[in-house]
Amino acid sequence: MRNAILLLKHVGYCNVLKSIWICSFKESPLNKIFEKMIIEEEKKKEEKDEKHLADLYECFISLSFDFPQGLILMCVSCLLKVALKKEEDEETQKEVEMALLALSCIYSHYEIEQKQYLNEIKEIIQYHQEHHNLTRLAYLYAWEFLIFRLDTDKSLNEVIVNELYFGREARRELKELSKCVDWKRKEERRGEKEGKEEYILIEGLQYESVELISSITQIYRAATDNREDIDMLKGGAVDAVLEGLQRHTFKGKMAYESL
């Protein structure tokens, strides 16, 4: 059973990376077995197997994308413990990445109070900003987990912008990633699967683009009557952004969704 759990955990991990949703899994007998195993492990007062529990949570949530509200707080607590590990060896980095990926699958309709996660997720993000201990995917999913909470808790705006410097970090990450992606691929290679860097870049843009495009539009509209006074317009910044959006850098669907 433990080997089966590890295998299915990696299947769930790949499903998230490839955006494959298995809607029928939550109705399967295996889904119910996982839920029963989690409850039994959580009930243990002594010698609770935290590693086994984390594997169960990661497997369960990344495959079913549906989770009983009663287990959410225990799940978040367990996975944050894994994600707080700071060792930089490859095995630990993979554990942290998978824990954060599972956390990012906990969408905004789940009720989670700030005290259940905020200090921990801030520590994870801030420690990475100083020490760069996370993989790029892990860092992306740490941000996703936090940003999903914005839908139900607007007070996080202050933390995201002024304490964790989302704008600065997003700009830096996108700049770094853009160096890794081969923008000048030959036409015959366009049908090939995207590399990990391209995936992270596109995934990052998906949750940044809505606010980004909205902000650019608002600035542009506000500036129409004050062209002489707006340095951004003098420098052609808006035109440059609009031109960039029209390039066939990403797949048509991505450009469409961003716009």
Write out pLDDT tens, residues 135-194: 988 999 999 899 889 888 888 888 888 898 887 888 788 777 777 666 555 444 544 555
Q: How confident is the model at residue 81 (pLDDT cuts 50, 70, 90)?
A: very high
pLDDT band for position 107 (50/70/90)? confident
Q: Which residue has the higher pLDDT, 179 or 240?
A: 179
The answer to whether 182 and 145 are in contact (CB under 8 A) is no
- Does position 108 have pLDDT exceeding 60, yes or no? yes
In the chain, % of residues over pLDDT 90: 27
Residue 257 has pLDDT above 70, yes or no: no
Which has more confidence, 188 or 10?
Answer: 10
Cβ neighbours for 84, distance < 8 A, ≥ 6 positions apart? 120, 123, 124
Specify the higher pLDDT residue, 233 or 151: 151
Over residues 191-215, the mean pLDDT reads 58
Query: Of the candidates 241, 230, 107, 239, which has an alpha carbon nearest to the alpha carbon of residue 174?
Result: 241
Which range, 50-54, 67-71, 88-92, 123-127, is most confident? 123-127
- Taking alpha carbons only, the member of 240, 246, 244, 258 closest to residue 204 is 258
* pLDDT for position 139: 92
Q: Are 62 and 105 in contact (CB under 8 A)?
A: yes
SS3 for the chain is: CHHHHHHHHHHHHHHHHCCCCCCCHHHCHHHHHHHHHHHHHHHCCCCCCHHHHHHHHHHHHHHHCCCCHHHHHHHHHHHHHHHCCCCCCHHHHHHHHHHHHHHHCCCCCCCCCHHHCHHHHHHHHHHHHHHCCCCHHHHHHHHHHHHHHHHCCCCHHHHHHHHCCHHHHHHHHHHHHHHHCCCCCCHHHCCCCCCHHHHHHHHHHHHHHHHHHHHHHHHHHHHHHHHHHCHHHHCCHHHHHHHHHHCCCCCHHHHHHHC
Distance CA 75, CA 58 (A): 9
Mean pLDDT of the chain: 78
pLDDT at 239: 61
Q: How confident is the model at residue 240 (pLDDT cuts 50, 70, 90)?
A: low
Name the residue among 85, 5, 10, 77 with its Cα closest to residue 37.
5
Confidence of residue 250 (pLDDT cuts 50, 70, 90): very low
Over 60: is that where the pLDDT of 200 sits?
Answer: yes
> Residues 11-64: pLDDT tens digits?
888 888 877 777 777 788 888 888 899 999 988 877 888 999 999 999 888 887
Cα separation of 209 and 32, whole Å?
Answer: 37
Q: Do 222 and 230 contact (CB within 8 A), yes or no?
A: no
Reported pTM: 0.73
